């Protein structure tokens, strides 16, 4: 069946339905921007000290979830790093990082949910505070309808180090989804949203079918209070998931510490 024919075959109610997926720790284990930062570091875009800062925030995020202050700090540092860099070059590195790392960090349970929505004829959107380029890249690889994310300004093919609009986070996600629903003719009462953080409560509250995936402690409590379903894809038991997060955090910290030590040794030998 041709693609246009398949679209026409989707019932009208299903065509007005969408599923909105947060990215970090909902689709991807950990922070996707951190893995891009590692790829950029390996290619000489910035120094070991910068990566150490990103690794610290990655470990804290895995252990405690996200918070606005941390996100603002990481955003500001990331924007300063890419200022003056080529959009095409960053995009090419992003493709390599997907092949090397991100494709291996997809939660199988989330991907199964995503695929079921696509099979039902629903639109599927990634809604993320991460750079929109990361959301679009992962969206293309997963075959979703599209992605909305934080937009870094660029002129003549080079990043300026400034944002276009606000960080797509919290209430900004809710607003973006409302605008998208109006443009696409979606019925939010029929739509689904998936998120892992208490900062996703606004977007989860705006749809008829909210689901907490791999929730942080605050979202887990909120979901229990309001009766939202919770899906845990980090392990069979929450304790096992917690242990795996701590292991990943310590391993990441040890890896970055090793980079620092090796760099220091090279400088001393020099």
pLDDT digits (tens, 9 = 90+) for 66-96: 555 555 555 555 666 677 778 888 888 889 8
pLDDT digits (tens, 9 = 90+) for 104-157: 999 999 999 999 999 999 999 999 988 888 899 999 999 999 999 988 888 898
Q: Are 26 and 194 in contact (CB under 8 A)?
A: yes
Instruction: State which of 132-136, 177-181, 196-200 shows the largest mean pLDDT.
Output: 177-181
Domain boundaries, the chain: 12-269
How distant, in Å, are the alpha carbons of 18, 29, 60, 99, 110 from that of 242? Answer: 31, 13, 13, 27, 18
**Nearest alpha-carbon partner for 129 in 73, 72, 75, 167:** 167
Q: Does pLDDT of 3 surpass 90?
A: no
What number of other Cβ atoms are within 10 A of residue 33's Cβ?
24
Instruction: State which of 65-74, 125-134, 162-171, 184-193 shows the largest mean pLDDT.
Output: 184-193
Which residues fall within 8 angstroms of residue 240, CB to CB, at 6 or more apart?
A: 234
What pLDDT shows up at residue 49?
A: 65
pTM: 0.74
Name the residues annotated as catalytic.
Answer: 22, 24
Tell me which fold the domain 12-269 belongs to. Answer: Rossmann fold (3.40.50)
**Nearest alpha-carbon partner for 154 in 46, 79, 63:** 79
Measured distance CA(130)–CA(79) in Å, rounded: 12
Percentage of residues in the chain having pLDDT higher than 90? 41
Q: Does pLDDT of 207 surpass 80?
A: yes
């Amino acid at each position: 069946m041709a693609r246009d024919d398949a679209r026409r075959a989707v019932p009208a109610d299903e065509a007005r339905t969408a599923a909105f997926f947060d990215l970090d720790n909902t689709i991807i284990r950990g922070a996707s921007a951190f893995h891009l930062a590692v790829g950029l570091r390996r290619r000489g875009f910035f120094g070991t000290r910068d990566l150490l800062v990103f690794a610290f925030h990655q470990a804290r995020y895995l252990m405690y979830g996200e918070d606005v202050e941390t996100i603002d700090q990481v955003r500001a540092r990331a924007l300063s790093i890419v200022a003056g860099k080529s959009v095409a070059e960053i995009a090419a590195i992003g493709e390599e990082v997907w092949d090397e790392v991100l494709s291996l960090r997809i939660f199988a349970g989330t991907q199964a949910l995503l695929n079921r929505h696509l099979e039902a004829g629903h639109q599927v959107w990634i809604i993320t505070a991460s750079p929109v380029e990361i959301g679009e890249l992962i969206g293309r690889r997963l075959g979703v309808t599209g992605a909305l994310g934080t937009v870094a300004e660029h002129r003549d093919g080079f990043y300026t180090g400034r944002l276009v609009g606000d960080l797509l986070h919290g209430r900004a996600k809710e607003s973006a989804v409302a605008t998208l629903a109006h443009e696409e003719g979606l019925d939010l009462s029929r739509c689904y949203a998936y998120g892992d953080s208490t900062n996703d409560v606004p977007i989860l509250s705006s749809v008829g079918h909210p689901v907490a995936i791999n929730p942080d402690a605050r979202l887990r409590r909120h979901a229990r209070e309001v009766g939202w379903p919770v899906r845990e894809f980090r392990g069979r038991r929450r304790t096992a998931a917690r242990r795996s997060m701590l292991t990943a955090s310590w391993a990441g910290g040890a890896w970055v510490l090793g980079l620092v030590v090796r760099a220091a040794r090279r400088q001393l030998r020099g």
